[in-house]
Amino acid sequence: MPEYLSRRRPLLHETRCQTCSLSSLCLPLALELEDMDQFDAIIRRRAPLKKGEPLFRQGEAFTSVFAVRSGSLKQVTIEGNGNDQLTNFYLPSELVGLDGIDEQHYPGSVVALETTTVCEIPFDRLDLLSEELPELRAQLYRSMSKEMREDRRMMRLLSRKTADQRMASFLITLSDRFRRRGYSPYSFRLSMARADIGNYLGLAVETVSRILSRFQSQNVVAVSGREVNILGMPQLLALAEEDIQEVASS
């Protein structure tokens, strides 16, 4: 057999949910094998996005939700004045676009932070399938509910936490998301720029940079460019929650 044939990437196979390494985290997580086939059938493959390329732009007609397969993305909303707000980062297995259902337009642009592949799930077909498959419907409700809970956590972070607490919380959340996906929770690479982190956390870039430097000098993390090593998870957890006066306890 000529090599170019055997080397041909088995795309269809790779994109099947049954063989996807993310299936235990993703939308079809609760489906039986035969139901998963049905789900599989409505998914569209997409060419990988390059860094900086938009998955969709703010205001475009809502047609599909997307599950991240690899890479990462950010969601950015621009309001009247040029002021933009980064409202979310998306990692593999997470669902993008659910907030567009209501108004039938995507309320923000979603842009790849690195080379990224996604599964496109046309929403009308997903909705119909969710009629037949109670487990799928339940999972969809759960996904949306979870995103609401996370938004509320973010609201608390933005309205009650200091810059240090925000930065520590951010690192912990990332760490946890990597851990759940089978990666090291202590050593990972940030796919987003400092400016993105600042925008997301409601801080100036300079503040993000300063805090990372300080965390480093306190031996809580080691940061080199976008490589992060968490050296003291307990300290980081303490930094994320504690109020200034509570330090005396230990």
Partner DNA sequence: CGGAAATTTGACATGTATCAAGCCCTGTGG
Partner DNA sequence: CCACAGGGCTTGATACATGTCAAATTTCCG
- Give the residues lining the site for a copy of itself (CB under 8 A): 77, 79-81, 83, 85, 87-88, 98-103, 107-108, 127, 130-131, 134, 137-138, 140-149, 151-152, 154-156, 158-160, 199, 201-202, 241-243, 246
Please identify which residue in 225, 234, 248, 250 interacts with DNA, judged by CB under 7 A: 225
Residue 212 binding target from a copy of itself, DNA, none, CB below 5 to 8 Å by type: DNA
CA–CA gap between residue 28 and residue 59 (Å, rounded): 28
Q: How far is the CB of 163 from DNA (least distance, A)?
A: 4
Q: How far is the CB of 234 from a copy of itself (least distance, A)?
A: 15
Please identify which residue in 28, 86, 207, 228 interacts with DNA, judged by CB under 7 A: 207
- Closest to a copy of itself by CB, 146 or 226: 146
Instruction: Enumerate residues 174-193 that contact DNA by CB under 7 A.
Output: 193
Q: Does residue 158 contact residue 168 with C-beta atoms inside 8 Å?
A: no
Long-range Cβ contact pairs of 120-124 (< 8 A, separation 24 or more): 120/43, 120/44, 120/45, 120/46, 120/64, 120/66, 121/27, 121/42, 121/43, 121/44, 121/64, 121/65, 121/66, 121/67, 122/42, 122/44, 122/63, 122/64, 123/62, 123/63, 123/64, 123/65, 124/63
53 counts as binding DNA under rule CB under 7 A: no
